[in-house]
Structure formats: C-alpha cells, structure tokens
A = this chain, B = another copy of it.
C-alpha cells in the first residue's frame, strides 16, 4: 500500500489556515497559498482527474489509466497532473514504466475545513446527498 509512503504536508501551514473562513478573516499569506490550491481545482479536467485518482481502488492510479476517460491528449493530461502535484493536491512516484498518482488527503481536508459553514452543518440542505 503506497498510503504508508504518503509525504507529510507541512503541519504548520495546515494549522495556519484550517479554521473555517467564516469564523475569522483569512490572512494575506494564507489566502495566497490557498488561492494556488483553488486555482489547481479551477479546471474541469483537473477536477475530474483528481476525483478519478481519489476514487481508484487502493487510492492510487497509474497514469496509463488516466488518459482513456478524457477527450484530451496525453501531454495535456500530463500537464494537468503536474499542476495538481505542484499545488500539493496529489503525490506521484515512478515505478518501472509508469508514474502512479494518489491524492494527498490532508490537502483536501484543509480546503474542506476552510469552506465549512456552521449554518450549513446545523441545517443540512434538502436532497444534498
């Protein structure tokens, strides 16, 4: 299981911005870091790639499995994977011929916590699940 080898995110950074943004205003530095992560999520192909990797059995996917579902070229997929990796949202490792990708759960959890709203938690939206 490659999960045992997942790189550990900078906990100091996570601590600096994991509070929900509705509770206290974001500082300039935290906002700059977070904006980069959201920018990586601002493309439909990257969002689908991330979701595809995350929902893969075992939590990781070979790059050879990631081109099929998309109507874009292999170099474009590689570019998008690089953006996701540079934003700290996925990890990767070459094993033999192929590169394998996995989602970094702490990064997603950080963004998820940031967007949590106390009101929405207290009153779940009808039909939201």
List A residues at the B interface (Cβ < 8 Å).
Answer: 3, 9, 11-12, 14-15, 18-19, 21-28, 31-32, 34-36, 38-39, 41-48, 50-52, 54-55, 59, 69, 103, 105-106, 108-117, 119-121, 125-129
CA distance in complex: A28, B9 (Å):
30
**Distance (Å) between the CB of A122 and the closest chain B CB?**
10
B108 touches A128 (CB 8 A): no
Tell me the dominant secondary structure on chain A's binding face: helix
Query: What is the copy number of this chain in the assembly?
Result: 2
A117 touches B129 (CB 8 A): no
**Contacting residues, chain B, for A44 (C-beta < 8 A):** 28, 31-32, 34-35
